[in-house]
Structure formats: C-alpha cells, structure tokens
Amino acid sequence: MAASDDNYALARIDLPGASTHGWQVRLQRRGVKYAKYFGDRIFGSPERSLQAARIWRNDLLRKIEASEQARICTRSARNRSGVVGVSKVTVITNGTSYQFWQATWSPEAGRRRCVKFSIRRYGDQEAFRLAVIARKEGVGTGGDS
C-alpha cells in the first residue's frame, strides 16, 4: 500500500436513487479479487464507514503480504534441488542437450536475475555448488530470500 494514500483501494459509493451511501474496498492480487462494502447507515456515519473500510483493507493487505512472504520463503513441492531458487535446467539446441544448474533471485521488485553453471564444464556437484553460492550472494545483496 502506498503510505501516502489513505484511500488506496477505497471508492466512495453514493447512489441516492438506491439509498446506497458508503465506502467500497476493491483490490486484486495474483488474480484474486477482494471486495467489501461499508454502508454509512450500518456504521452510523460516512466517517465511521470510511474508518471501518480502512481497517478492513489494512488487515487484508497484511494477510496478503504474510501469505506472499510465506510463499516466497518456502520450498515448493516441485523443487528437487532442495534449495530455493536453484534448479537443474536442460536446454536442447540443434538436437544437442546441455544441462546447467541455474540460480535465480530478485535483486529488487520487478527485476529478476539468473546465472547458469554448465554441468559439462564443472561437473554436476560443482555446478550445483556454484549455483547455490550465486543464489546466496545474489539474495544477500537485498533481493528475495
């Protein structure tokens, strides 16, 4: 949430013909839509409905952030290397197969880094070890975990 915007994801709804007045929270994360309406009549005033909407939105954002942190920091069931962000990759070019151990991380929001270590050049164990080191060093510079 933008700290400077108290009304992030909030919209005022005033439909006099339908006797509808209140605040609506609407946001979407990873394709999931969240919405809740806070009517002035139920909360007693526009100020109180706005306050309730902000509290609900802030709680929702904390829950979403916590679940995203848990997702980022835990190993996927599909992970076979045993190290988050390190995977074995096979590339086939002109009928020739090349295998690498690859380290990936995000040094900052919206950016992704990747480095590969050839199994042919380093051997399987050394390529894996180098990928693990690269991942730790990349994450250690302020990226994800």
Neighbouring C-beta atoms of residue 85, cutoff 10 Å = 25
**Range(s) of the domain holding residue 93:** 86-139
Per residue in 76-85, pLDDT (tens digit) is 556 677 788 8
Instruction: Provide the mean pLDDT of the chain.
Output: 85
**Domain annotation covers residue 1:** no
Q: Are 68 and 32 in contact (CB under 8 A)?
A: no
Give the lowest-confidence range in 6-10, 27-31, 68-72, 104-108: 68-72
Mean pLDDT of the 66-87 span = 67
Which residues make Cβ contacts (< 8 Å) with residue 54, sequence separation at least 6? 6, 10
Q: Comparing C-alpha atoms, which of 62, 13, 66 is closest to residue 42?
A: 13
Of residues 93 and 86, the one with the higher pLDDT is 86
Q: How many domains does the chain have?
A: 2
The number of residues in the chain equals 145
Residues 103 and 134 placed together within one structural domain of the fold: yes
Per residue in 16-55, pLDDT (tens digit) is 999 999 999 999 887 789 999 999 999 999 999 999 999 9
pLDDT of residue 2: 47
Residues 14 and 69 placed together within one structural domain of the fold: yes
How far apart are the C-alpha atoms of 80 and 72, rounded to whole Å? 16
Residues 67 and 92 placed together within one structural domain of the fold: no
Q: Are 105 and 113 in contact (CB under 8 A)?
A: yes
Determine the distance from the C-alpha atom of residue 83 to the mean position of all C-alpha atoms in its chain, rounded to a whole number: 19
Examine the pLDDT at 106 and tell me if it is beyond 90.
no
Question: Among 34, 50, 73, which residue terminates a domain?
Answer: 73
